[in-house]
Chain A
Amino acid sequence: MSTATAAAPSAGAAIGIDRLFLTFAIGATAILVALVLLDSQPLSAALILGGFGLGIAFLKAEFSYTASWRRFLTKGEAGGLLGGLIVIAICALAVVPVAALKSNFGGAIAPLGPSLIIGAFVFGIGMQLANGCGSGTLYTVGGGSGRMLFTLAFFIIGSVLGSLSLPSFLALGGIDPVLASDYLGPWGGLAATLASIALAAGLIVAVAKKRGANFMPSRSYILGGIAIGVLCIAVFFAGGHPWSVTYGYTLWGAKIFAALGFDFSNAGFWQWPGNKQALASSVLSDTSSLTDFGMIFGAMAAAAATKPFAAAAWPPFKSILAANIGGLLCGWGARIGFGCNIGAFIGGVASGSLHGWVWFLACLPGCLIGIRLRPLFGLSRD
């Protein structure tokens, strides 16, 4: 294990550079980029590199939806939540008009109904137990958290179970997606989307003020939010749709189960044309997987560039148990609820789709339950 140490000339302090993992992260990214370029897929290469940038941005800004939503619910602190809205507002500037005006681009849309609400609620419970959401799991796994390896594994299992459950939940009914640009046009839809974000921000600040809590985002959340928002736009232009995370997990899980002999030919979800094709195709043909891989390796590179990688001890058993349960709930909920906080909330709201806000409002009560359950597993409520 070639953990080397180099001196920082300016500070004079020692910075640990983990050359093994830094080399692996950069080398693995380069190989994946080369593989998709060999298939003449430059946009796929852009998605990997966009994910790589997102991994660095999330890790460096310590941008955590799970922790910031928890702080808002327990203490009224709104800075992290507002940082997340910065991401959505920036992303919406491109997604709403381009998706409405260009036929080869689409927004993140989803029907409104019991499936969306139940899925988001269960996801909320899971994200507080797992201590990570869709993006958080990726960048903390990439950052060297052993606990989050368990979360990711069970997230994947849960999302496959969710894929098997989704047709039954869709049968409960619902209404077609409600998209602002369908009613107001591309620019009116953008104005309505930005107004809805401003309204949400105002309500969040009002709650924070009423509870006497801080509502100003930290510098790292402002800069991180801007960087992540810009990268979201880049991913949107490369992939043709807003950044999504958890579909990749579902696909990886299904491929693993299929390799172990599981037959998906009777599973409704995997008979829908897109999913059937994705299951049969290379994993590097899936946009979510490309950004996911890039994000893991980006976070790994950023973490390994500053300290010895994965050098901490394993967490206590109860914490790992919470990671497993939380991951399972996150995976199942994300599939039933049409995505996680990235694909459903950020992608949905940034597309001007009403389901994004419905997902958020259904997820928060789930978070409250998850926060109450955390002490059972030795986790703080704060």
Chain B
Amino acid sequence: MRKTYIAVVVLTFVAIVGNHLTSPSSGRAVSPEDFAGACAPCGAPCPSKK
């Protein structure tokens, strides 16, 4: 299990850093509810707006 763990954590970390380096970064850490005018943290719209 240990060797699998090493492989998983190293690959995951490389993926995190790779994604960060190849993707645009917003000015600050954001959650969708910051800018979606949403009714839930995932950005879901409010029932009253339908």
Contacts and interface: CB of A to CB of B under 8 A. Distances in A.
Interface of A: 1, 20, 24, 28, 31-32, 35-36, 39-41, 43-44, 47, 106, 108-111, 113, 144, 146, 149, 163, 166, 170, 173-177, 238-241, 244, 247, 250, 255, 269, 272-275, 277-278, 280-288, 290, 293, 300, 309-314, 335, 338-339, 343, 347
A272 B24 contact: no
B13 A166 contact: no
Contact of A241 (B1, B5, B17, B41): B41
A24 B8 CA distance: 13
Nearest to A106: B33
A244 B42 CA distance: 10
B47 A174 contact: yes
Nearest to A311: B2
A93 B17 CA distance: 36
A283 B23 contact: yes
Interface of B: 1-2, 4-6, 8-9, 13, 16-17, 19-20, 23-48
A287 B25 contact: no
B16 A113 contact: no
Interface of A is mostly: helix
Contacts, number: 167
Contacts of A146: 1, 4-5
Given A43-B28, A310-B1, A244 B36 contact: no
Given A1-B2, A146-B5, A247-B32, A275 B13 contact: no
Given A111-B46, A272-B32, A282 B25 contact: yes
Contact of A287 (B9, B13, B31): B31
B29 to A, nearest CB: 4
A284 B25 contact: yes
B45 A272 contact: yes
Contact of A109 (B2, B5, B32, B40): B40
Contact of B38 (A20, A39, A272): A272
Contact of B29 (A28, A47, A175): A47
A16 to B, nearest CB: 13
B1 A111 contact: no
Given A282-B19, A310-B1, A312-B1, A110 B29 contact: no
Given A146-B4, A241-B31, A309-B2, A283 B39 contact: no
A106, A173, A287, A309, most chain B CB atoms within 10 A: A287
Nearest to B1: A146
Given A240-B31, A275-B42, 6 more contacts: A1-B2, A110-B44, A177-B40, A272-B36, A272-B38, A272-B45
Nearest to B39: A111
A280 B23 contact: yes
Contacts of B4: 146, 149
Contact of B20 (A274, A282, A339): A282
A17 to B, nearest CB: 15
B39 A149 contact: no
B12 to A, nearest CB: 9
A287 B5 contact: no
